[in-house]
């Protein structure tokens, strides 16, 4: 029931927004839908915490702790993005960068995008999950082209093509898993339900499932932004409007990872854990290396944030590969921390971009004087993202690296650490150059309204709390969630 | 190793080979309308494959799938793509030698057989022989997509790849659950429509969908 409410909220909201009069009524509906989605997500989390698994079998819906974790993540980040969106869109419209008829598209597409992500993490059917993940791409293409600049159109086309091809590869993998299932258990096993796949997984032919996982890793890896399939990501994430970038970098990548995790459970049971582990370590390290070279001297701060997502997704993959409680729980915690820090940074980057009119690092000078609060928050969120204590990312990075050193992957953990250090230097240098120096004369000083900064402040406070307290309740929750992926105990 | 030849196995094998042959022809043909016609032929062959599977396995819902293929891939998508295709044909001087791509496509068939070995070895399924051909079709589609110079050809390559995936689903599992199958068709159709709109806007802004000119974004 609560699952249906959660999915109905953004879908009906999107429909209502198509019909709504632009301006104030549309804005009110937009905010109400975002808040309603967040509340439904919290209710679902409570229900899952109490009952373990919540499901609507007739609709192939099923939420276990892992689903609930992702639902809360998606709903939280969409709330941050949605709260900042009206001010952002108003400023864009005032600067004549977005035409009114295109701005009216934002609300419906935004909530449709959120709906596809929520569906992807709450359906039990891996075929429907695939459709929903492809749906996330289709729903977000026109969000990227909102400003209709040539660069944003090209980025959207590249995003559509690469992700559609990638996701079709994942479909091939899904078909192979289905094939393995039918071969082993006969026509009676005509199901794509994950909960049933897991029960039969140990009996599935390991060769076919392993081959399927390679396809799935390439396919969903494209959505996660793992190198070498990441090439669409810096373009799409940097050209999209800030609230959309926040969603894409904060949670869309995590939804892709969720899909991969579901299949990792199946392949671990069918072919042994070593198979997926080797592949994930390789792609994780490659992603971190690619990101580190791009982040050594960033030219464009939105691309910098996008490449940093590639880096963090690589690290999360390493955590999943290292395994054990520390590895898997660390990876999940890192997803949460990264979503908080990255969504805050994209919202802030949007404010900087609106003021300076350029996403080039070299064109932004004296941010500290021009926008003192935004500048301070940008620095704090960057430090959090780079894993500086006392912010939450420090804890999750230590957990992941410790799992690597303890689990016989000391060399991989050492390489990951080296990449983290390199990124630290490069990104901090770029942010420092933006903060200091003389503010160009044509830039107006003063904040463009402070209340859009409120969600950012909340994100930073939560990050502080996660870093300082690391509450026992959270440890228990992460343990339960990690248990779904086989990282419990 | 191999099942004794049955009428069903022979028919699907024949159709699967014909699908791969159209993929080769798509690599070989240079003209946009020609490639589009070949894509429609390939999709029609897949509809026939779905129909044959329905007839031999008694899974009559596959007839609906066959009709959906005819409606979406043989009729609707070529019509949509014709609008995306460049109006002016490329000048003859721009013609490229097709030897390299054809050779690469031939190699991909071997790759497909090597990759699909775990599936074809020792399975009683009469259609197992066609599985590597499905992957080969997909890989050739990827080749077309990766080596394209026009956005139109990239989208076409993606669609050939998608045909390969569809063929794999058909031959390996005699179709997926109806809900999933319907969703996949919807996704492909929407993807092509979205691509059409985006490419239309790009063309309005730069008067070309030659991807050599889509180079504003650096990696």
Establish if B90 belongs to a structural domain: no
- B172, B202, B216 ranked by CB distance to A175: nearest: B172
CA distance, residue B84 to nearest chain A CA (Å): 13
Name which of A125, A142, A172, A306 to mutate to probe chain B: the one with the most chain B Cβ atoms within 10 A of its Cβ. A172
> Is B4's pLDDT higher than 60?
no
Establish if B69 belongs to a structural domain: yes
Distance CA B142, CA A355 (A): 42
Give residue-wise pLDDT tens across range A200-232: 889 888 888 999 999 999 999 999 999 899 999
Q: How many CB pairs under 8 A join A and B?
A: 121
Establish if B196 belongs to a structural domain: yes
Q: Which of A287, A296, A298, A474 is nearest to A399 (CA)?
A: A474
Distance CA B165, CA B143 (A): 15
Token pair in block for residue B199: 């490419």
Please tell me which residue of chain A has the smallest CA distance to B153.
Answer: A161
> Is A301's pLDDT higher than 70?
yes
The total number of structural domains in chain B stands at 1
B134 touches B167 (CB < 8 A): yes
What pLDDT score was predicted for residue A381? 96
Give residue-wise pLDDT tens across range A81-114: 998 888 888 888 888 888 888 888 899 999 999 9
Question: Does the beta-carbon distance from A150 to B179 stay under 8 Å?
Answer: no
Establish if B93 belongs to a structural domain: no
CA distance, residue B219 to nearest chain A CA (Å): 7
Dihedral angle, C-alpha A240, A244, A246, A251, nearest 10 °: -120
Q: Is B125 helix (H, G, I), strand (E, B) or coil?
A: coil
B183 CB within 8 Å of a chain A CB? yes
Give residue-wise pLDDT tens across range A422-438: 999 999 999 999 999 88
Q: Which residues face A123 on adjacent strands?
A: A61
Establish if B71 belongs to a structural domain: yes
Establish if B91 belongs to a structural domain: no
Establish if B38 belongs to a structural domain: yes
Establish if B206 belongs to a structural domain: yes
CA distance, residue B126 to nearest chain A CA (Å): 12
How far separated are the first and last CA of chain B, in Å rounded? Answer: 48
Q: Which domain holds residue B140?
A: 5-85+98-218
Q: How far is CA A418 from CA A285, A414, A421, in A?
A: 11, 6, 5
Residue indicated by tokens 């509906």: A29
- A141, A205, A211 ranked by CB distance to B115: nearest: A211
* Residues of chain A above pLDDT 90, percent: 68
- B154, B187, B219 ranked by CB distance to A131: nearest: B187
Give residue-wise pLDDT tens across range B188-202: 898 999 888 888 888
ipTM of the complex: 0.89
């Amino acid at each position: 029931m609560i699952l249906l409410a959660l999915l109905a909220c953004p879908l009906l909201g999107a429909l209502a927004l198509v019909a709504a009069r632009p301006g104030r009524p549309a804005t009110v509906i937009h905010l109400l839908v975002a808040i309603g989605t967040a509340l439904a997500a919290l209710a679902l989390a409570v229900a899952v915490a109490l009952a373990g698994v919540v499901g609507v079998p007739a609709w192939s819906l099923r939420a276990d702790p892992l689903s609930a974790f992702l639902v809360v993540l998606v709903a939280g980040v969409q709330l941050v993005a949605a709260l900042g969106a009206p001010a952002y869109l108003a400023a864009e419209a005032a600067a004549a960068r977005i035409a009114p008829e295109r701005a009216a598209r934002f609300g419906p597409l935004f909530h449709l995008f959120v709906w596809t992500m929520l569906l992807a993490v709450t359906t039990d059917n891996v075929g429907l999950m695939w459709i929903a993940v492809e749906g996330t791409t289709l729903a977000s293409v026109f969000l990227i082209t909102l400003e209709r600049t040539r660069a944003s159109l090209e980025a959207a086309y590249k995003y559509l093509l690469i992700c559609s091809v990638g996701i079709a590869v994942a479909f091939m993998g899904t078909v192979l898993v289905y094939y393995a299932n039918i071969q082993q258990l006969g026509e009676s096993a005509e199901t794509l339900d994950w909960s049933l796949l897991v029960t039969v997984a140990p009996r599935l032919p390991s060769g076919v499932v392993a081959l399927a996982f390679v396809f799935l890793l390439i396919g969903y890896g494209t959505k996660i932004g793992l190198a070498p399939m990441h090439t669409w990501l810096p373009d799409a994430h940097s050209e999209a409007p800030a609230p959309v970038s926040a969603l894409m970098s904060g949670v869309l990548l995590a939804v892709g990872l969720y899909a991969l995790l579901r299949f990792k459970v199946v392949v671990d049971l069918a072919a042994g854990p070593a198979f997926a582990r080797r592949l994930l370590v390789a792609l994780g390290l490659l992603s971190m290396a690619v990101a580190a070279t791009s982040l050594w001297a960033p030219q464009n701060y939105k691309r910098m944030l996008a490449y940093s997502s590639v880096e963090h997704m690589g690290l999360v993959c390493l955590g999943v590969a290292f395994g054990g409680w520390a590895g898997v729980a660390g990876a999940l915690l890192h997803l949460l921390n990264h979503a908080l820090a990255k969504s805050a940074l994209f919202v802030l980057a949007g404010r900087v971009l609106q003021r300076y009119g350029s996403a080039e690092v070299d064109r932004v000078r004296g941010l500290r004087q021009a926008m003192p609060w935004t500048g301070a928050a940008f620095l704090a969120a960057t430090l959090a993202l780079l894993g500086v204590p006392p912010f939450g990312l420090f804890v999750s990075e230590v957990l992941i690296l410790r799992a690597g050193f303890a689990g016989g992957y000391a060399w991989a953990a050492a390489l990951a650490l080296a990449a983290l250090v390199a990124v630290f230097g490069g990104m901090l240098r770029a942010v420092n150059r933006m903060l200091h120096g003389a503010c160009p004369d044509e830039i107006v000083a003063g904040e463009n309204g402070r209340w859009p900064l409120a969600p950012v402040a909340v994100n930073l406070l939560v990050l502080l709390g996660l870093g300082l307290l690391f509450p026992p309740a959270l440890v228990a929750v992460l343990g339960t969630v990690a248990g779904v992926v086989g990282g419990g105990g | 190793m191999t099942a004794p030849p049955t009428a069903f196995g022979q028919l699907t094998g024949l159709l699967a080979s014909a699908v791969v042959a159209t993929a080769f022809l798509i690599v070989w043909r240079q003209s946009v309308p020609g490639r589009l016609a070949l894509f429609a032929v390939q999709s029609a062959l897949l509809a026939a494959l779905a129909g044959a599977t329905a007839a031999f396995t008694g899974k009559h819902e596959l007839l609906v799938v066959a009709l959906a293929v005819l409606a979406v891939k043989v009729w609707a998508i070529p019509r949509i793509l014709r609008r995306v295709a460049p109006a002016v044909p490329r000048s003859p001087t721009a013609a490229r030698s097709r030897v390299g791509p054809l050779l690469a496509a031939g190699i991909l068939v071997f790759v497909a057989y090597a990759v699909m070995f775990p599936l074809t070895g020792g399975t009683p399924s009469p259609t197992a022989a066609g599985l590597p051909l499905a992957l080969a079709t997909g890989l050739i589609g990827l080749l077309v997509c990766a080596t394209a110079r026009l956005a139109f050809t990239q989208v076409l390559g993606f669609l050939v790849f998608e045909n390969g995936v569809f063929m794999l689903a058909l031959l390996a599992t005699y179709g997926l659950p109806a809900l999933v199958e319907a969703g996949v068709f919807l996704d492909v159709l929407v993807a092509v429509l979205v691509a059409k709109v985006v490419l239309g806007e790009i063309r309005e802004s730069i008067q070309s969908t030659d991807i050599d000119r889509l180079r504003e974004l650096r990696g």
